[in-house]
Structure 1
Amino acid sequence: MTLPSLGSLAPLPAADHPGLLAAPVTAVLSGWPHAPHVAVVEIDPELADTAAMTEAYDVPLTASANCVVVAGRRGGEERVAACVVRADTRADVNNLVKRTLDVRKASFLPMDRAVEESGMEYGGITPLGLPEHWRLLLDARVVDIDVAIVGSGVRRSKLLLPGRLLAELPGAEVVDDLGLPISG
């Protein structure tokens, strides 16, 4: 089986390299039937942010998917969602995410909470291995990426996989126009 690859990154079978993954990601891959189609690539942690990574490793921005964690309240109940959008867009938090979560106001989950609850590093949070009570919202454009690059739960690596497989994650919801074009 051929592993997905991008740019100058050297893909390895993700399930065989747990040292390059956060524990929740390793746990998901151990029981996920699509794990053989997921590669992990080691990167310089200083280049983990999307703009630096895409330039350093010759990866198209449109292949990168960013995961942001958003929360809001309705009737005293907190609702949390991880939103995955292509890196050339930004999550429509103030409109579509707010309506999808059915909350009055949606805002980014504080970094320390996102890190603690996900068991992942800031800048490495990924849709694989999220807490069960979080919703997973995927922009439809992410699902269409032939080889998507997403976080691995840690800043020193990234995952490569067909975008369509993200829609196969438990609880994943594909949402049209979740990502808005970034205006320059």
Structure 2
Amino acid sequence: MSPRLGTLDLVPALDRLDLLGDAVATALSALGPAAGEAWVCAIDPALADTAAFSEAYSVPLEVSANCVVVLGRRAGEERAAACLVRADTRADVNGAVRRRLDVRKLSFAPTEWATEATGMEYGGITPVGTPEEWPVLVDERVAALEWAVVGSGVRGSKLVLPGALLAALPTAEVGPYAR
């Protein structure tokens, strides 16, 4: 039986790879049987931003998760990460995330850089399919969700998956990454 969130019509993500960004479809397919727990739904691309999406589709902010890409430098080495936090919280960029990446200064990645590095559309960036060398820092509140709504790599759809599946992504690290 399909999970239901708000007014969204969910279908198995593996049945609609056409609704996902290429990197997301590839990464999801590589998850094996666990990918069977992922769902996808088409949305209006103009409503992809969290607040508009939540209001339009009656999805509470506490089940939506935002993925932000951060960049820092240490000894001339650029360090990037994807941070996944509930939409009703903010990534602790200058605290826990900065310490985890072991950098003195950490910033949100420029939009153009993030979209090029991930191969995903702005407003659709998701931890599923980010570059393999990046840690995916999953806030413990996201990992605890029964169902989490995240980007799909494109603005025209959303992925819905268990928080436990996000926590089990190959480079995921669960911790207190939000404030």
TM-score by length of 2: 0.97
Contact kept in structure 1, 2:134 and 2:171, CA below 8 Å: no
For 2:54, give the aligned amino acid: T
**Matching of residues 76-155 of structure 1 within 5 Å:** 76-155=76-155
Contact kept in structure 1, 2:63 and 2:145, CA below 8 Å: yes
- Work out the number of aligned pairs and report it: 178
* Residue equivalent to 2:157: 157
Contact kept in structure 1, 2:81 and 2:134, CA below 8 Å: yes
Report Cα offsets for 1:49-93 as digits up to 9, x if no partner.
000111110101100000000010111111100000000001011
For 2:50, give the aligned amino acid: T
Q: Partners in 2 of 1:90 and 1:154 — Cα distance?
A: 22
Contact kept in structure 2, 1:67 and 1:125, CA below 8 Å: yes
Gaps of 5+ in 2: none
Q: Partners in 2 of 1:35 and 1:5 — Cα distance?
A: 18
Q: Partners in 2 of 1:84 and 1:131 — Cα distance?
A: 15
Q: Partners in 1 of 2:133 and 2:3 — Cα distance?
A: 30
* Residue equivalent to 1:8: 7
1:143 Cα offset (Å): 0.6
Kindly report the root-mean-square deviation, in angstroms, between the aligned alpha carbons of the 2 structures: 0.8
Gaps of 5+ in 1: none
TM-score by length of 1: 0.94
Contact kept in structure 2, 1:44 and 1:156, CA below 8 Å: yes
For 2:174, give the aligned amino acid: V
Identity of aligned residues (%): 60
